[in-house]
Structures are given as C-alpha cells and as structure tokens.
Structure 1
C-alpha cells in the first residue's frame, strides 16, 4: 500500500498538545483540569480589536495584498518605533501567525541539509519547522542550574560549520522565560557578523518582561541591518491566539523579497484577522501595563508554590509566561499522563507539558515540565497544591509503576 513520507514520519508530536486525548478522557469522567500545558491566556482581547470586527463595513471578503494590509504594516512600524526599532512598512511581511513567519524564514535562508544553531530548550515547533524545511537544528545547551542564561559564545562558535546559516533565539524565551540582556545580544551580533550568519529572534513576548528588566531587540543593533530577522505575533501580546496573525521583519531586502514569494504562494493572510490585529494596536497603554502586572503576580504565585514542593527545582523567569520545572520523577511524560489518567483531588487535576519535547538532544529534559502561568492566581495556587499531593503519591512505588496507556 502507499506509504507516508520519511519527512512526515520524522515530524515530532507536539509536547504541548500530545496529551490532549488524556485530558479529553479525564473531562468526560467529570474531572476539572487546570491547564498549565499551553500558552493560551485568559486575558481579555482588546475591545478595540473585537469592535473592529463587529462593526466592519466589509461587503466582499476579498484577498488582501500578499504582504498584508499596508495600513497595518505602517501602524506596526509606528509601534516598533516606540520601542527604539526603526523600520518601515516595506520591512514588514504579515504572516498567518508567527509560525508561518518562521516557516517563511527557514524557506528563504536555508537549503536542505543546512544548519541552524538554537539554544536549548527551545520552542518545540522550531524542530517541526526545521523538519519541514529539511534543516538540521544544532543545539547549544543551557541549564536550569544557571537560570537558562546564554551559553558561552565559545560554545556557539564550536558548532559553526560551512552548513551553518543562522542562529535562532526566542527573547524572552519559550519555554524558559529567560530574557537575553543587551550584552548577550551584542555577543550574538558579533558572532553573526564574524561568520556572516543570519540572527533570527522570535520576539513574540517582547512586552512581557518583569522586575524592571528591559527588552533589547536585535533590530536595535544597526550593525545587523543585513543579518537580523525578527518574528512577531499578536497572539500573546493581545491575547488573540485564534487570530493567527504574525509578521516577519527584516531590513534585508533580499530576505523580504524571497519571503514574499512564499507569501504569494499562500495568497494572503486572513482579512478579518488583519482587521482585528490592526485595531489592537490602538489599545491604550494601560492594556499593556495591567496585563504585565497580572502576569508578574501570577509568576510570583506559581514560583512560590513550586518552591514549596519538596524536590522541585525552578528558575525564576524574567519574561514571557512560562517556566521550566524539574520534578522529582524519572519520566515527566509518564507522570503527566498519570496525572490525567489516574489522579485527582476532589475531581481536580493538572495538565502539564513534558519538557523533553523542547529539547532535540536525546535524554535531556526527561524529568522536567514546562508550565504556563496563564491562569488566575487562585487557580495557580490550587494547581500547585494538587501537584504537590500528586508527587507525594506518585513517589510511592504503588502509584509510580501503575500502567498508563501510551495513547488514549
């Protein structure tokens, strides 16, 4: 019979979504699940975005320009200028989510067999996108022990080969919440210039930085005009994950022109989602400040709760709304399935994202989970209490050796 492709077989399962069948089964059994596995905020979408769709005057839902509405790109350029990032609308390409921006980037700058260096752990879909593009991810390992800070530049330099095309970072980081300092960005910029590499920065969580920290974009380093590619999205900044609108930004005309050919092949980004996203830029400054304050409070609640659980290690994230926690278990995926399949307290349980899926190195992160602090503080507090009780039971052989199905 016909068989699927080797590339298809190599595509990894999402560590964020692979346990969904277990969650659906648990909910059918009447359990309430605190979903800490996925970065789906409960923050309200700006009313400006919703009203723009509700009150639209569209009579024909037509294609837009393949690069997206020019009015939207001009407003984005104005937004970035407020963050000391000098670009024009012609440097911006609207995409169907930040995911498409990354896919377009890889398609535009790599050939099959090329390599991209990525600090690990990294956003799991980077591995999926590289598989689609037949590109090899070369990991530089950071560790929880030092808060997932940037590995020594010498570690990057050791990995550069004639096949290396780019370095890819997420700033602030998903799944670690690590925020790269200006000095660290400068070191990466020096390396990109020295070896004539692209430096790609996923800056989806730019607004979410805490404790008086400051975000520094690669686009703020003028030396990187021909090297820098930024990926961004409205999904998290405006709590508009379902809009699927992102953008690719570069001052390198060849990159934009090449990415445009991929954009033309998919015709255009969705019209209503662009209408909403453009209007979201009119949200008042208070929307950002109030949202950041909520996430900081949630971070503090989650970290305090995790630090009170014996055997759990966690680094304090400086940005985004994720953290990596190391659990006193051998196999975090087995434990996460067990939580959904076998455990509850008063019909309540917790859903986590096993962190091994955020590593490409074999056997890394097996006892770690990624936690998204997107729930309110009361729910986060309850979730950490459930997690503590679950770990106490699971550490008993009687519970740990219970058979948990691989799939549901």
Structure 2
C-alpha cells in the first residue's frame, strides 16, 4: 500500500521525486502582496489598522457570529476566552486529551486544571457519553456548583476541540452543557469552514476560537479570533485584548487586567486576502479528500471521514491503521521518501506537566493515538 500511496500523492502534488511534499503548506495566490503593501504604505502595521477591522467583519460574515475579536494567535484566543468566563485557580475545565498542547496550556494559564475525558472514535472529538458519565457519576452538586469528587475542585467549563477540522458532536455536548449549566468554549482552531448541519463550528458555545497559524487552511503567519453572539463578551474581549486601555486622546488609563493580544494590522492584511480565497481552498481540499476516500476504500487503513450531519474542511486528512506497528512503518517509509506524514499528538495526559491531571479511562483516545496518521492535505501548488 505504501508504494501506491506515494505514487498517488506525487501524482496529485509533484511527480519529481526530489520534491518534498509537506503536510499542509500555505498557498498565496490572491491579494496578499497588495494588502501587505497597502499596510506598509499606511504605516499602520501594529494593532491599529483598517485590515484588523476588516478581518473581524469577514469572520462575522463567514461564521454567522455577531461579534469577532482578532487576536495574535489561537492560544491567546482560548486564554482570553477562559479569562473572560472567570476561570481561575482552583477550577477545572473539561477537555480532551487528544488535542494540541495549546488547549491544555490555555487552561493552565488561568491557574485552572484540565480534566481529560475521552473522545469518540469516529469524530476523534470529545465524547458526549464520556462527559455525561463523568458529570453524573463522579461529581457532587453544592449550591449550583459542580464539584469533582476526586479533586474537590469546581468544574467551570467544557472545551471540545474539532479534531483535524472534523466537527465533533457539538449539538449533543451543548445539550449536556446546558443541562449542567456549564459554558462551552469551542476550540475550532482547526475547523474554519467546517459546519454542523448549516451552522459553522465555533458558534455553538458561549465562545468559539480559531487559529490562523502557518499550517492552517487560512493563514496569516500567526493569528487567532474569538467569536460570540453575546454582546457583553464581544465588547469586553475587544477591550481586554487591547490592554484594557480606556479610550483617550493622550492619557494612558487602564481599568482592569488587560492583555496585549490584538492581531497586528500586517497579519490581518494577510488574513483578509486568504479569507477571500477560502471557498476555493475548501473545494480543492474536499476534492482531495474524495480521492483519498476512494484510494483507501478497499484497504486495511480507515480514512477518517466526516460524521453524519457535518461538513468537514478536511484540514488534515487522517487515516487509522490497524495497529501501532503498521502505523510506524508507514510513517518511516513515507518520510524517508520526502512525503511528510505525521502521527497524532501525544496524549496531553501523558505530557510531564499534565500527568497529575485527572482523566477517565481515555480508552478511545489511547486507541487512536496509537493508530492515527495525518497525510498531505494542502491546497495543490502544482498542476
């Protein structure tokens, strides 16, 4: 299968065996240079500028959210979302161990602890069943507070992550969260352009965050965004991401703890040009995913397709091997052949700074971590 796969990938990207095929490289073929030049000529290259405002308007239009706040990266977007909800020392936040480290790091920045619960095997995202089981069978309830029986900490929020761009069961998770009066922050860092039915990911929870890192579907080098329908959160987030500075012609007055998290105008210019091309990017990526689905149809490896009632952006196409040994052999041979493939992240619960954190069995998470591989998924740069 590996030789067939290498041939398939090179037919799609480049037939030159000396060319390195990356996992997901950015493609700049729109107004990127024009908008960057405009920004430089305007001299507004930092956090004040027309393109930052334009980017926020584009994000509102794309996601359907009422408010969007531009940030320097997805991690800062997640941190400021947690901060705005009052998450702090002594609290716990439910999330998944199968995620990029930024998800747990942002929780720790507030002084809180992540509580790692299992994912579903098909969506690879936080399992509604796991969340329900933990809240019902491992927690006590005191004056409207949910207390983790094992740690004694108060559970304050839920952060599901849409893994590799594939939407999870966010509707079911929202029902559970509403029943237990827990806010959801959607980690939609990887799922720009992904939908559940007709609703964009990131808009089901109280807050949703996105990333525009160099390897994302749309990139501005480094950048993020928070979206919300809540007016109070929308206004406060913009205020505290600009150091909580009170508007004044010349004086420096700050009325609460603030963060220097606003996206620079240079990055926003790049983001605006990229967002203009998003529809085309998504069409190309869906076409590639369709070819992968056909390629793996009768093979031992399982292509991780979108689940029912969802539309994935297929940010990183993913396959599941029957065992770790087969996975490791595939990783070795493809990378030696200059075709980049990558295993899933090490489970966050295994990292030295999070080994002390509470988790459930993580049965599905462990199973997937041993078997998942991301394969080249970028927009084609050669015909």
SS state at 2:90 partner: coil
Higher helix proportion: 1
Partner of 2:174: 189
Q: Residue deviations 1:50-104, cap 9 Å, x none?
A: 3322455624244334998333323332333xxxx251xxx22101122221122
Partner of 2:107: 130
Partner of 2:323: 328
Tell me how far 1:253 sits from its aligned partner.
Answer: 4.4
Q: Residue deviations 1:320-358, cap 9 Å, x none?
A: 3242524533697xx47x965xx689x626554443614
Are the structure 2 counterparts of residues 348 and 63 from structure 1 closer, same or farther at C-alpha, using a change threshold of 3 Å? closer
**2:334 & 2:273 partners in 1: Cα distance?**
43
Q: Which runs of 5+ in 1 are unaligned?
A: 1-29, 222-226, 380-408
| Structure 2 length-normalised TM | 0.65
SS state at 1:357 partner: coil
Matches within 5 A, 1:114-263: 114-144=91-121, 146=122, 148=124, 150-152=127-129, 154-155=132-133, 157-158=135-136, 161-162=146-147, 163-171=154-162, 173-174=163-164, 178-180=166-168, 184-203=169-188, 204-208=190-194, 214=197, 216-217=199-200, 228-235=206-213, 239-256=217-234, 257=236, 260-263=239-242
Tell me how far 1:139 sits from its aligned partner.
Answer: 2.4
Matches within 5 A, 1:4-403: 35-36=22-23, 40-41=24-25, 44-56=27-39, 58-65=41-48, 69-80=52-63, 85-87=64-66, 91-109=67-85, 110-144=87-121, 146=122, 148=124, 150-152=127-129, 154-155=132-133, 157-158=135-136, 161-162=146-147, 163-171=154-162, 173-174=163-164, 178-180=166-168, 184-203=169-188, 204-208=190-194, 214=197, 216-217=199-200, 228-235=206-213, 239-256=217-234, 257=236, 260-264=239-243, 265-266=259-260, 268-283=262-277, 285=279, 287-288=280-281, 290-300=283-293, 303-304=296-297, 308-309=299-300, 312=301, 315-318=304-307, 319=312, 320=314, 321-323=316-318, 325-329=320-324, 335=328, 348=337, 351-355=340-344, 357-360=346-349, 364-365=366-367, 367-374=370-377
Partner of 1:405: none
Q: Is the 8 A contact 2:344 2:374 kept in 1?
A: no
Q: Is the 8 A contact 2:167 2:194 kept in 1?
A: no
Partner of 2:10: none
Q: Is the 8 A contact 2:292 2:303 kept in 1?
A: no
Q: Residue deviations 1:123-158, cap 9 Å, x none?
A: 3431233333333222221243x5547442632533
Q: Is the 8 A contact 1:34 1:351 kept in 2?
A: yes
Coordinate RMSD, CA, aligned: 4.1
Q: Residue deviations 1:2-50, cap 9 Å, x none?
A: xxxxxxxxxxxxxxxxxxxxxxxxxxxx9976554xxx345x2350233
SS state at 1:103 partner: helix
**2:322 & 2:213 partners in 1: Cα distance?**
29
**1:314 & 1:238 partners in 2: Cα distance?**
20
**2:175 & 2:278 partners in 1: Cα distance?**
37
Are the structure 2 counterparts of residues 133 and 357 from structure 1 closer, same or farther at C-alpha, using a change threshold of 3 Å? farther
Are the structure 2 counterparts of residues 31 and 357 from structure 1 closer, same or farther at C-alpha, using a change threshold of 3 Å? farther
**1:113 & 1:242 partners in 2: Cα distance?**
35
Are the structure 2 counterparts of residues 65 and 55 from structure 1 closer, same or farther at C-alpha, using a change threshold of 3 Å? closer
